[in-house]
Amino acid sequence: MSTDWSTLATDRSSTYVADERREFETFGEALVFRERPNPVDAVALTDTMLVVFPSQAILALLDRDPNFSRGLLASLSERMHNLVAEIEASTLFSARQRVAAYLESLAVESGTSRVRLPVTKTVIASRLGVTKETFSRLLRELANQGLITVDKRDILLRDRPRLAPCSTRSRPVSRRCAGSGCRCACGPRALARRRSSLCPRT
């Protein structure tokens, strides 16, 4: 697939962005092994050239090329683990943590603290399981705390060490912040494992 961005969306009545694909990435591999309708729709966000491979061609390649078979299995396994991680994040972590983790992932991917939102806020909000209004409000809150600077779609992560405790990288053991005296950037409802490493005092 050749495009800047596309989304995989479920629930046609109220779109939920289940995943994204970028240039030269693939989707729909599982349909090779199951003769059922695809549970998601692919929506191109830019002009796109899509290449479709027939199932029989893929199955034949699996039979004769072990390296291809292992690569496909590895790709499907990686997506399964990512899906489990997202389900965990959506059930165990707050919207604030999901937004912080998303910003951090953009910084890690780009190799810089200055990032640009790759798609619209509406698409990102749906991907994170929040409304566009909630996403914008959380960005303002992080900006007001001096953690980020927002200029339309361009965002500067000004204090990544303080932003990190807000993200889902801090795996929770409860829904309460670790200790009543914690004053970390993620606030009193933070999910934290160890106060010493996740809740630096200001």
**Per-domain boundaries in the chain:** 6-90, 93-198
Is-contact 20 12, C-beta < 8 A? no
In this prediction, residue 140 carries a pLDDT of 95
CATH code at 93-198: 1.10.10.10
Percentage above 90 pLDDT, the chain? 33
3-state secondary structure of 5: coil
* Whole-angstrom distance, CA of residue 144 vs CA of residue 130: 20
Tokens of 53: 């491979």
Mean pLDDT of 2-14: 50
User: DSSP letter at 18?
Assistant: E
pTM over the 0.85 mark: no
Mean pLDDT of 4-33: 69
For residue 4, what pLDDT band results from cuts at 50, 70 and 90?
Answer: very low
Task: Please give the mean pLDDT across all residues of the chain.
Answer: 76
Q: Which of the two residues, 27 and 141, has the higher pLDDT score?
A: 141
